[in-house]
Structure 1
Amino acid sequence: MTDVDVIVVGAGGGGLTAALAAHDAGAGVVVLEKAEHAGGNTALSTGSVPGAGTRFQAAAGIDDSASRLATDLLAQSGSHDADDLARLLATGSAALVEWLIDTHGVDLRLITDYKHVGHSVPRLHAPPSRKGRDLVADLLRAVRATDTEVLVHTPVAALLHDDEGRVTGVRVSGPRSGTYDITSHAVVLAGNGFAANRDLLREWAPAIAGFEYFGSHSSTGESLQWALDLGARLGNPTAYQGYAAVAYPHGSITSWTTVEMGGVLVNGAGQRFGDESRGYSGYADAVLGTPGPWHVVFDTTIRDYVAGHEQEFAELVALGGARECATVADLATFCGVSRSALTTTLASAASAASGDTKDTWGRTDWGFGPLHPPYVAVRSVPGLFHTQGGLLVDAHARPTTDTGPIPGLYAVGGVATGISGHTGGAGYSSGNGLLSALGLGHLAGTHAGSLAR
């Protein structure tokens, strides 16, 4: 006799999706969250989920397919420890998006005005606000509509397992929850990665241990260690998702759409230092490699366009985080750099954006074209948002050992091996985190739920 069919550890996007899928498969579910609120890193994201071949793309005249998404993902990431997982998630992406919308009323809309990093066609589906907290709110509403309990302030301290290594439940232990055991047919680990654990960063990904962290502080990695103790294997441990331009001191991201539409990043010498079209994650290490302070520079046309489409950026503008500068001289003063150096930098970028010359750094995609005054600048810093290394899993999201999957255990999102390359941040395509979280959540919940039948 068990207390519940499926236990989900973590109430972010992956855990809530797993709970919905397990319920749809006929299981009784409980979700345990150690933090005060549900959401995790999903709540801090833009809520963008890649879906390749959805009916929404077809209605917009966008020709896409799972194979095209897989090709795009692997072109961005290169070969890594989870190539097959990237293909698997691409294959299920359209059905995932349509299931969330049609079955559970999650409000996702196809973003058609730009493609974003790593994608050859528009395929990101996001809340109208483009805020992850709204995606979490929809998922939480849908989970509660199934009468599934979501218990916050309920930290899991350990996995329960039998002598043969089958996972049979969890031990809860916390100051508010008390200490007790819950038994189940299956446990889904959905507690994200280890970016908030400096000891694990130094052990598994020392190159990024010095990054300032802007993700969920509940991403402390203990669930990975529980599975490793049962013989699970770690994949892509040094890969990560960084962000090259976190607005300072505001702490919100400077929408990378400002760069995709033609903006540039300049360093403390008033110079560009690379090809910004590498993407917000891949460019983070370039920022750290050049002296600051750093600024994202664009113009009022780009500012108004992005503010009209992205609520978080509009809020940054309203808070004064995007300074309008009438002239290059004003811009140089705000950025604290040489006027002549900045004038040369902007002139060179404008020439490349106009197609008159080749860009020194090899950039070819300039969005709206050359920047024009009035200019806009956001002071920014690079940061770490989440790790992309995790447990190697099979097609049902079960962590695997040298001899096969661990029975009764599943891993989704940041707990599982990411699909963003073997090392570094350059392999991250927009939406990879939520594709892994929600995609694996759907697979894990469906399979785990079937064990109850």
Structure 2
Amino acid sequence: MPNLEWDLEVDVLVAGAGGAGLAAAILAHDAGASVAITEKLPRPGGNTAISTGSVPGAGTRFQRAAGIEDDGARFERDLLALSGSHDADHLVHALAHRSAELVEWLVDDAGIRLDIITDYRHVGHSVPRLHAPSSRKGEDLTNDLLAAVSRRDIPLALSSPVVSLLQDENRIVVGAVTRSADGAELRIGFKKLILCVNGFGQASDLVRRHCPEIAEAMYVGARGSEGEAIRWGEELGARMGNMKSYQAYAAILHPHGELLSWTTIEKGGILVNEQGDRFGDEAIGYSGFAASVKAQKGPVTAIFDQAIYEIAAREPWFKEILDYGAVKPAGSVRELAVALEVDERRLGAAFETYNRAASGEIADPFGRTEFGVAPLKPTFWHARVVPALLSTQGGLMTDAEGRVLDRSGERIPNLFAAGGAVAGISGREGGIGYSSGSGLLHALGLGWIAARTATREIFSESR
């Protein structure tokens, strides 16, 4: 057994300063625990910082003020309708039914600035329930969380990854070793550890093993998603769940590397291949459609019209991509065909069939039933796109309170997890089960729940 002498002792150590870790640290501090956060990268934020910052909440006061009727039961049905039943159904129930409380805690206790998005519902939601910063940037959500951490004087060590976990004579995890950029090691003892170290999207061996259909796509998620939680979990005998599930994005602007707002497709846009043909039901969502885009052998182009352009332009970050020249106009199908270097008649036929389906004259050959403001009319806007992996959605299995479970389903003492380290709520495999905002709900929500459980156990054990 290692020498269990500590350079620092805290009630709760949070490993990872993404949305899950920051929310966990804030809640644990406010519950009366001593807390420290360690982050392996020089900048905090994780996938939260590069998201749109959208947190779904069902039955919030913000929805009620906007005249939206919603509740946790409806949200749970929506999530499962898209994902199907999976290894973490219990987390779907817990998070859906506590989502309103989470959103209102973020605003009221943590001081996070969120607005209800009423312009559109997005994938997987039967009513508007996404709450996001006015900028629609996860960086602003992250900055608000960091401000809340700073106000509480919670120690946050950047460039200080956890490099190993330490166990006592009973093989219970009681400490961690971190290493700073200059190589100095710090031994931290704790009563509870909350692992929020993200997924394994950058660990090519794990992606090939668990998510082979997306393994060769570019990775555009947070740096540092190298699968530590999976590797530690395997050593500790933890159970894993939903390991084949991932969140992808079907429309990364090429070669610029920025996300094309999926509003352009949700509101009636289409994607065509190098022959000028559509190749699937785009309305299944930006994650679900990514595998279809990846299956194309040549370039793929997203196309939408002026009406959709004007809707998408309400999003501040959509306006930014226009400066890159990644989205270009075409005044007619002929002009568009020339720009894409495809046969005009073939592209025209694709438009005609799609527009007739959007008008209700025929059934869409790919089964699309939601067409937004289509039929599409000139002016057309177009952009070359490629698919990408945003995050993995498999990981450690926890109970509904964030406690990590072993292979027999028993709780591993002192060990909690949240965010990308944990089995997600997007189905057992593939990218089709991902509902908009479910990643942030899972990260922030489970971090918040895990911290509440961990602190409750600490103070119960100390009596």
Instruction: Tell me the TM-score range normalised by the shorter chain.
Output: over 0.9
* Equivalences for residues 228-377 of structure 1 within 5 A: 228-308=234-314, 310-377=315-382
Q: Which amino acid aligns with 1:342?
A: L
Q: 1:52 aligned to 36, 58, 62, which one?
A: 58
Q: Give 1:147's aligned residue.
A: 153
Alpha-carbon RMSD = 1.3
Q: Give 2:229's aligned residue.
A: 223
TM-score, with structure 2 as normaliser = 0.95
Aligned partner of residue 386 in structure 1, secondary structure:
strand
Aligned-pair CA distance for 1:329 = 1.6
Deviates more, 1:166-175 or 1:431-440: 166-175
**Structure 2, unaligned stretches of length 5 or more?**
1-5
Aligned-pair CA distance for 1:208 = 2.5
The count of corresponding residues between Structure 1 and Structure 2 is 452
Q: Give 2:3's aligned residue.
A: none
Aligned-pair CA distance for 1:177 = 5.3
User: How far, CA to CA, are the matches of 2:409 and 2:61 in structure 1?
Assistant: 40
Q: Give 1:175's aligned residue.
A: 181
User: How far, CA to CA, are the matches of 2:385 and 2:297 in structure 1?
Assistant: 12
User: How far, CA to CA, are the matches of 2:411 and 2:14 in structure 1?
Assistant: 18
Give yes or no for the alignment of 1:386 onto 2:391: yes
User: How far, CA to CA, are the matches of 1:10 and 1:301 in structure 2?
Assistant: 42
Whether contact under 8 Å (2:213, 2:291) holds in the other structure is no
User: How far, CA to CA, are the matches of 1:448 and 1:274 in structure 2?
Assistant: 46
Aligned-pair CA distance for 1:403 = 5.0
User: How far, CA to CA, are the matches of 1:137 and 1:333 in structure 2?
Assistant: 45
Whether contact under 8 Å (1:193, 1:388) holds in the other structure is yes
Q: Describe the superposition over 1:405-427 as per-residue Cα deviations: whole angstroms up to 9, x where unpaired.
A: 11111110110001100111111
Q: Describe the superposition over 1:337-357 as per-residue Cα deviations: whole angstroms up to 9, x where unpaired.
A: 211111111111111111122
User: How far, CA to CA, are the matches of 1:354 and 1:98 in structure 2?
Assistant: 41
Q: Which amino acid aligns with 2:455?
A: G
Q: Give 1:74's aligned residue.
A: 80
Aligned-pair CA distance for 1:206 = 2.8
Aligned-pair CA distance for 1:303 = 1.2
Aligned partner of residue 68 in structure 1, secondary structure:
helix
TM-score, with structure 1 as normaliser = 0.97
Cα–Cα, structure 1 residues 206 and 362, in superposed 2: closer, same or farther, change >3 Å?
A: closer
Q: Which amino acid aligns with 2:414?
A: G
Aligned partner of residue 292 in structure 2, secondary structure:
helix
Q: Give 1:17's aligned residue.
A: 23
Whether contact under 8 Å (1:393, 1:411) holds in the other structure is yes
Aligned partner of residue 386 in structure 2, secondary structure:
strand
Aligned-pair CA distance for 1:291 = 2.7
User: How far, CA to CA, are the matches of 2:352 and 2:171 in structure 1?
Assistant: 64
User: How far, CA to CA, are the matches of 2:369 and 2:400 in structure 1?
Assistant: 38
Aligned-pair CA distance for 1:174 = 3.9
**Structure 1, unaligned stretches of length 5 or more?**
none
User: How far, CA to CA, are the matches of 1:375 and 1:207 in structure 2?
Assistant: 32
Aligned-pair CA distance for 1:292 = 2.3
User: How far, CA to CA, are the matches of 1:51 and 1:194 in structure 2?
Assistant: 27
User: How far, CA to CA, are the matches of 2:333 and 2:53 in structure 1?
Assistant: 35
Whether contact under 8 Å (1:130, 1:311) holds in the other structure is yes
User: How far, CA to CA, are the matches of 2:349 and 2:208 in structure 1?
Assistant: 40
Aligned partner of residue 90 in structure 1, secondary structure:
helix
Aligned partner of residue 182 in structure 1, secondary structure:
strand
Cα–Cα, structure 1 residues 19 and 350, in superposed 2: closer, same or farther, change >3 Å?
A: same
Aligned partner of residue 136 in structure 1, secondary structure:
helix
Aligned-pair CA distance for 1:203 = 2.6
Whether contact under 8 Å (1:354, 1:370) holds in the other structure is yes
Q: Give 1:423's aligned residue.
A: 429
Aligned partner of residue 104 in structure 2, secondary structure:
helix
User: How far, CA to CA, are the matches of 1:346 and 1:90 in structure 2?
Assistant: 39
Q: Describe the superposition over 1:53-111 as per-residue Cα deviations: whole angstroms up to 9, x where unpaired.
A: 10111111111110111101011001111111111110110000000001111011111
Q: Which amino acid aligns with 2:265?
A: V
Q: Which amino acid aligns with 1:350?
A: N
Q: Percent identity?
A: 49
Aligned partner of residue 120 in structure 1, secondary structure:
coil
* Equivalences for residues 403-414 of structure 1 within 5 A: 404-414=410-420
Cα–Cα, structure 1 residues 325 and 74, in superposed 2: closer, same or farther, change >3 Å?
A: same
User: How far, CA to CA, are the matches of 1:188 and 1:349 in structure 2?
Assistant: 49
Aligned partner of residue 192 in structure 2, secondary structure:
strand
User: How far, CA to CA, are the matches of 2:340 and 2:42 in structure 1?
Assistant: 39
User: How far, CA to CA, are the matches of 1:173 and 1:143 in structure 2?
Assistant: 22
Q: Give 1:84's aligned residue.
A: 90
Aligned partner of residue 22 in structure 2, secondary structure:
helix
Whether contact under 8 Å (1:165, 1:407) holds in the other structure is no
Q: Which amino acid aligns with 1:317?
A: L
Give yes or no for the alignment of 1:449 onto 2:463: no
User: How far, CA to CA, are the matches of 2:17 and 2:413 in structure 1?
Assistant: 22
Aligned partner of residue 324 in structure 1, secondary structure:
strand
Aligned-pair CA distance for 1:162 = 1.5
Q: Give 1:107's aligned residue.
A: 113
Q: Which amino acid aligns with 1:101?
A: V
